[in-house]
């Protein structure tokens, strides 16, 4: 299916949406064309008001735009879906007046009170949708007109504000007679580990707070049915809800709007699915000699099926985890001089650094809505990443103006060592390493080379 339909051309088709449709058996040869159109159509994130205290109950009303929306008289609202980046103020009277409460995650109204202390369940008459407030940060920047090397982040500012904060996380263990689900403590330890990595990579912007956990009993061993039963019972109000599946029930893990479904406790699977919730798509690899694409094969990103230990640079940038001076746009230098030289430091864990060297060079590919990120993912080989220190990667990524959902997918276009003597082509550029700095450390009786920089000559 992936090869035939070239779903990798459309990040929106991967994992979440696409998988949901396949599992619902909507993906057949006969309706594929129509389904594809429907799936790749850009969709505004919707606020949805529902009639029962769970996120799968009947939708009473939905709203795509900011502003005040009035519910039908006595609609009996009991749950509200709030997309990442939006805040919703629920009011007890019409025209957004009267007693109120503001929420910025999906919210179960059976457990929510207005400012006065009165229950909000069945009492909401109107609601106001707004962008969440964004505070200034070194990691959320604008590019001024004369900053020719500035690389703009087209991710929505209020979404960046909503992502880069404390995440409230609820764990839901799904139990089924005759099958085994990992223990709650094991699940929580995995999540803590993932968020320790996020805290480093996000420069302390992202943190974790567990807001409760529960085990829900399901009665069906059918993957789709069991997930729906679990969602119905979870009635979660959290930034993220982590559902953990019994062994052998579903063939893959997957992600929805604010939920992830995991079929084990492998940390990189959690980072992969949470990455989807945060707006990332898959990291693919294109063979430079044959043009053949391998899905999710980029080992420098969690958004692959490989043993990775971070997201890749285009994704770190999209999440707002890099500063302005850490990426350098090279279009004007190349347009003016035909070539340029850049010295990059390795990304590694993306921890904060006092180095003045940038993490990446970025080429806006002329005539397209794509850009090429050139980076050095790892300072050294480690047991997880299987990428030699100093290796240079070139990734093609969308500029993603107006993107929503699982948008930031990448395509690895070139990969070569820091001591390569050849030029390597990627998206119309020729890259050649011309220098590096490194030192050796002894480890387990072996000498390991640790790179601190790689210098590249880049020409058209
Ligand atoms: Zn995925």
Distance 295 CA to ligand 1 centre (A): 10
Same domain, 208 and 115: no
User: If you measure from the C-alpha of residue 175 to the centroid of ligand 1, how many angstroms do you get, rounded to a whole number?
Assistant: 24
Q: Which residues span the domain enclosing 324?
A: 301-459
- In angstroms, what is the span from residue 120 Cα to ligand 1's centroid? 36
Going residue by residue through the chain (460 aa), what tens digit of pLDDT does each one get?
Answer: 444 455 544 444 545 455 555 555 556 666 666 766 665 565 678 999 999 998 889 999 999 999 999 998 777 899 999 999 999 999 999 999 999 999 999 999 999 999 999 999 999 999 999 999 888 788 999 999 899 999 999 999 999 999 999 999 999 999 999 999 999 999 999 999 999 999 999 999 999 999 989 999 999 999 989 999 999 998 778 999 999 999 999 988 888 889 999 999 999 999 999 999 999 999 999 998 999 999 999 999 999 999 999 999 999 999 999 999 999 999 999 999 999 999 999 999 999 999 999 999 999 999 999 999 999 999 999 888 789 999 999 999 999 998 888 889 999 999 999 999 999 999 999 999 999 999 999 988 999 999 999 999 999 9
307 CA from centroid of ligand 1 (Å): 14
Q: Please check whether residue 149 lies inside any domain of the structure.
A: no
Q: How far is the CA of 47 from the centre of ligand 1 (A)?
A: 24
Query: Do 420 and 308 have their domain in common?
Result: yes
CA 57 distance to own-chain centroid: 26
Pairing, β 97-103 against β 86-93: antiparallel
For residue 172, CA distances in Å to 48, 49, 211, 308 come to: 22, 22, 11, 26
Query: How far apart, in Å, are the Cα atoms of 311 and each of 121, 138, 237?
Result: 40, 20, 27
| Ligand 1 center–CA 185 separation, angstroms | 25
Provide the CATH number for the domain around residue 416: 2.60.98
Is 425 in the same domain as 308? yes
Q: Distance, CA 276 to ligand 1 centroid (Å)?
A: 7
The Å distance, Cα 318 to ligand 1 centre, comes to 17
CA of 167 to the centre of ligand 1 (A): 20
If phi over 0 gives left and psi between -120 and 50 gives alpha, with beta otherwise, what is residue 154? alpha
Please give the pLDDT value at position 41.
60
Domain boundary among the residues 244, 278, 312 is at: 278
Cα→Cα distances 19→5, 23, 120, 232, Å? 14, 6, 35, 20
The reply to whether 227 falls in a domain is yes
What is the pLDDT, as a whole number, of residue 19? 55
- Give 386's Cβ-side CA count (13 Å radius): 7
Residues 327 and 383 in one domain: yes
How remote is the CA of residue 16 from the centroid of ligand 1, in Å? 7
Residue 254 Cα to ligand 1 middle (Å): 6
Q: Give the number of other Cβ atoms within 10 Å of residue 194's Cβ.
A: 22
Q: How far is the CA of 301 from the centre of ligand 1 (A)?
A: 11
Q: What is the pLDDT of residues 188-209, one digit of tens each?
A: 999 999 999 999 999 999 999 9
CA 455 to centroid of ligand 1, rounded, Å:
33
Burial 14-40 (b: 16+ CB within 10 A, else e): bbbbbbbbebeeebeeeeeeebbeebb
Centre of ligand 1 from the C-alpha of residue 359, in Å = 25
Is the Cβ–Cβ distance between 40 and 34 less than 8 Å? no
Q: Give how many domains the chain has, as a whole number.
A: 4
Q: Are 32 and 61 in a shared domain?
A: no
Find out whether 88 and 100 touch, Cβ atoms under 8 Å: no
Alpha carbon separation from 307 to 122, 271, 379, 389 (Å, rounded): 47, 11, 17, 16
d(CA 190, CA 81): 27
Residues 72 and 26 in one domain: no
* Torsions phi, psi for 190 (to 5 deg): -60, -45
Closest to 399 in 3D by CA, of 226, 30, 151, 126:
151
Judge if pTM exceeds 0.85.
yes
Distance, CA of 428 to CA of 456 (rounded, Å): 16
* Dist. CA 269 → ligand 1 center (Å): 9
**86 C-alpha vs ligand 1 centroid, how far in Å?**
24
| d(CA 101, ligand 1 centre) in Å | 35
Expressed in angstroms and rounded, the spacing between residue 345 Cα and the centre of ligand 1 is 28
Range 66-92 burial, b when 16+ CB lie within 10 A, else e: eeebebeeeebbbbbbbbbbbbbebbb
Residues 312 and 449 in one domain: yes
pLDDT for the residue 20: 54
Six-digit token pair at 59? 């939708």
Question: Residue 172, class by beta-carbon neighbours within 10 Å (0-12 exposed, 13-18 middle, 19+ buried)?
Answer: buried
If you measure from the C-alpha of residue 273 to the centroid of ligand 1, how many angstroms do you get, rounded to a whole number?
6
Q: Are residues 274 and 318 in the same domain?
A: no
- Please indicate, yes or no, if residue 288 is contained in any of the structural domains: no
Same domain for 115 and 202, yes or no, is no
- Residue 92 CA to residue 114 CA, distance in Å, equals 8
Query: Would the CA dihedral through 228, 234, 235, 238 be positive or negative?
Result: negative
pLDDT value, residue 290: 92
Report angle CA 205, 185, 312 to the nearest 5 degrees: 35
Kindly give the distance from the C-alpha atom of residue 279 to the centroid of ligand 1, in angstroms, as a whole number. Answer: 11
């Amino acid at each position: 299916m992936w090869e035939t339909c070239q779903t990798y051309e459309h990040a929106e088709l991967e994992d979440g949406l696409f998988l949901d449709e396949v599992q619902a058996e909507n993906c057949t040869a006969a309706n594929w064309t129509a389904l594809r159109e429907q799936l790749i159509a850009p969709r505004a994130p919707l606020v949805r008001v529902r009639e029962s205290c769970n996120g799968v109950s009947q939708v009473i009303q939905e709203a795509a735009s900011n502003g005040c929306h009035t519910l039908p008289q006595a609609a009996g609202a009991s749950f509200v879906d709030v997309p990442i980046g939006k805040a919703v103020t629920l009011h007890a009277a019409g025209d957004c007046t009267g007693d109120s409460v503001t929420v910025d995650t999906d919210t179960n109204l059976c457990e929510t009170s207005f400012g006065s202390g009165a229950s909000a369940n069945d009492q909401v008459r109107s609601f106001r949708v707004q962008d969440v407030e964004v505070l200034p940060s070194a990691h959320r920047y604008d590019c001024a007109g004369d900053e020719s090397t500035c690389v703009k982040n087209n991710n929505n500012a209020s979404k960046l504000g909503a992502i880069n904060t404390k995440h409230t996380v609820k764990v839901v263990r799904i139990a089924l007679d005759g099958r085994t689900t990992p223990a709650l403590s094991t699940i929580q330890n995995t999540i803590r580990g993932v968020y320790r990595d996020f805290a480093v990579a996000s420069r302390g912007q992202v943190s974790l707070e567990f807001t409760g956990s529960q085990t829900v009993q399901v009665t069906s061993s059918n993957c789709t049915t069991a997930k729906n039963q679990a969602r119905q019972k979870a009635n979660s109000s959290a930034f993220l809800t982590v559902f953990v599946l019994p062994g052998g029930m579903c063939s893959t893990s997957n992600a929805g709007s604010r939920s992830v479904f995991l079929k084990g406790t492998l940390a990189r699977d959690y980072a992969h699915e949470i990455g989807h919730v945060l707006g990332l798509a898959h990291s693919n690899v294109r063979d430079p000699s044959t043009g053949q694409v391998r899905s999710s094969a980029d080992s420098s990103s969690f958004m692959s099926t490989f043993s990775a230990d971070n997201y890749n640079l285009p994704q770190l940038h999209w999440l707002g985890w890099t500063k302005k001076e850490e990426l350098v746009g090279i279009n004007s230098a190349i347009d003016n001089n035909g070539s340029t030289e850049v010295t990059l430091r390795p990304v590694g864990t993306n921890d904060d650094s006092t180095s003045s060297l940038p993490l990446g060079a970025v080429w806006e590919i002329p005539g397209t809505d794509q850009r090429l990120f050139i980076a050095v993912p790892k300072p050294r080989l480690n047991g997880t990443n299987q990428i030699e220190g100093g290796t240079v990667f070139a990734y093609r990524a969308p500029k993603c103006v107006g993107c929503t959902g699982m948008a930031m997918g990448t395509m690895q276009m070139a990969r070569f060592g820091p001591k390569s003597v050849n030029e390597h082509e990627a998206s119309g550029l020729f890259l050649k390493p011309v220098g590096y700095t490194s030192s050796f450390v002894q480890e387990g009786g072996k000498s390991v080379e640790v790179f601190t920089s790689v210098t590249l000559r880049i020409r058209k």
